[in-house]
Chains A and B, each alone.
Chain A
Amino acid sequence: MAIEIIGDVTGRALPLPGDNIDTDRIIPARFLKSVSFEGLERHLFEDDRAQVAAQGGTPHPFSDPRYAEATILVVNANFGCGSSREHAPQAIRRRGIRAVVGESFSEIFFGNSVALGLPCVTAAPEAVDTLIQMVARDPALVVTVDLAALQVSAGTHRFAITMPAAARDGFLDGSWDATGLLLDRYEEVEAVAARLPYVGR
């Protein structure tokens, strides 16, 4: 695997307010009926988008042409809860999103995103809400998520972000794809297996 360092992401943002947005909403289960991840982005938030469209008025952010070029997704708390389906971050990444800024993420969603090279960074609720409001007012606003400085900047609005050290280091040194690491020094794995009473049985 080629090493890809992910130090910062700069681009327009897409605000998606609301707590506890689960992976069934991100990608409804019926679209998991495939042996590949290809084309998943077409069904990203499909049911939510349809419901918002049926109500008229402002379209769902993922249907809104003002956010078509966005590469940074901004969310509130417990984003990606529920099912472990990697299809959720796959669909988001395939839609062109390269970083997610939020109040908090479900653990499994966060880990799945790391494995895809999609950093999810956490910030204080007020900072996130301010960013959501700023982007809603000005969809062309350029936002930078800086993993090295642990900071998001958007115009004059700057705020601190956090990310678990292992994930951050992985993005910064390009080692976020962990499989190679797990295959290193494999004799140590075999030694642990041999020591476990239930494995030899």
Chain B
Amino acid sequence: MTLLEKVWNAHTVRKLPNGQTQLFVGLHLVHEVTSPQAFDMLRARGWKVRFPGRTIATVDHIVPTRDQRRPFLDVMAEDMLAALERNCRAAGVPLLDLQSGSQGIVHVIGPELGLTQPGMTIACGDSHTSTHGAFGAVAFGIGTSQVRDVLASQCLALDPLKVRRIEVSGTLGSGVYAKDIILEIIRRLGVNGGAGYAYEYAGDTIERLTMDERMTICNMSIEGGARVGYVNPDQTTFDYLRGRRFAPEGDAFDAAVTWWRSMASDADARYDDTVRIDARGIRPTVTWGINPGQSVYVDERLPRPSDMEPATRASLAEALEFMGFQGGDPIKGTRIDVAFVGSCTNARLSDLREAARVVRGHHVAAHVKALVVPGSQGVRAAAEREGLDRVFTDAGFDWRNAGCSMCLAMNQDRLEGREVCASSSNRNFKGRQGSPIGRTLLMSPAMVAAAAIAGEVVDVREMTGGN
């Protein structure tokens, strides 16, 4: 059996009359954007939160990353946090707030605190919940009505998923990161190639990745249309979890490891589909368009509509027009205005280290606004203990407080006008970073750092001599 089947079976309550499965949710993560209406609906129907102890909340999307004094200057943001505080207090749901020292992007703190564990089912009102699959959990992004369902019943009604095994093998080249692997997968399989599937990432390349790197890959499963992505748990997973705040301790940890191991896909598991990718061919990747599948290697040129299949020509032309690029242009040398290191995809300590390694001894180009937004208060503190904050500030980066920041601009951090942003985030949709006509180029944190210094898209391998 696959991990998906095992976790699914272990959490199945019953088959519903409509053919869906009622699945128990082991961990429900809550944040301020998609929960207030759910709590309202719960109250309107007279329901209570069934498992407050299996529910935990934080605030991430709307928090200002500079001045966090309360009340926030943004009245609507203040309202949202106040509503979350009221709802959590009334329901007995723990809230990791700005004073907790543990606040951060929900998909960064779940793993960091050891809340996210193998074999679990996890739900959160956010599409990047797939991140938690890096631990061998089955994690679903859900909408607000389903947040209501999980609050009220700790369950979801779900259709079965197929499993596609994506085997990545071979040694990654220098300057090539987990971000480049997932952008490669999305480019090859398409932004809706994963519809109906869970993606199981496997192969020796994936097995050698750290937990941080596995999270980057699972995080962007949804950008490939797969609601769920996971990596089978192994020693790397267990070593990461040992000693974390919410991880089991002592004998209980060893017992948990035994169960966690048993939940991994069997060697003879059957898959609905298998895709093989040679990691040796992957080069640093940059998106040039308006969905995460529209990318090229940094040393490639943008596709021309005339080279494409008729079916994709229109969307290619639309993307080129929006971005103000021409088919055949090189991506290298594209001038940037903003550099953003942050988001649930790439704002963990290792991401900051890689960016800092590129930045050290250099300065941000005069015309570039550059900011580093750690994924959590924990990441920020750890980075400061290593002096990374000084590396960034000495180079001219802003060093901010933890939050979603410019990934989706529900706060003060946003693009202006036609600005071009080199971004370590996950979506390059039109308007995503806050300016309706702003432009986003997705890339690894090291590539963002390199672009910040050069003032344009460059090949990080030429700046550092590789990793």
Contact = CB atoms under 8 A, between A and B. Distances in A.
Interface of A: 1, 18-20, 22, 24-25, 28-30, 32-37, 47-48, 50-51, 77-78, 81-87, 89, 104, 106-108, 111-112, 115-116, 164-166, 169-170, 175, 178-179, 181-183, 185-186, 188-189, 192-193, 195-199, 201
Interface in B52-82: 54, 61-62, 74, 76-77, 79-80
A96 B448 CA distance: 43
A18 B34 contact: no
Contacts of B432: 24, 29
Interface residues of B, number: 81
B427 A24 contact: yes
Please give me the 3 A-B residue pairs with the lowest Cβ-Cβ distance, nearest first: A115-B145, A112-B143, A86-B143
Main secondary structure of the interface of A (DSSP, over half): helix
Contacts of B74: 33
B18 A108 contact: no
B10 interface: yes
A84 B128 CA distance: 9
Contacts of A86: 34, 37, 143-145
Contacts of A198: 26, 117, 119-120, 248, 256, 259
B22 A108 contact: no
B201 interface: no
A82 B127 contact: yes
B33 interface: yes
Nearest to B319: A20
Interface stretch (B151-159, B176-184, B270-278): B151-159
A50 B431 CA distance: 12
B131 to A, nearest CB: 13
Nearest to A182: B153
Given A24-B432, A25-B429, A25-B430, A189 B24 contact: yes
Contacts of A116: 145
A107 B62 contact: no
A192 B74 CA distance: 43
Chain A CB count within 10 A is highest, among B12, B61, B195, B437, for B195
A189 B79 contact: no
Nearest to B294: A20
Given A84-B143, A86-B34, A169-B18, A182 B437 contact: no
A172 to B, nearest CB: 10
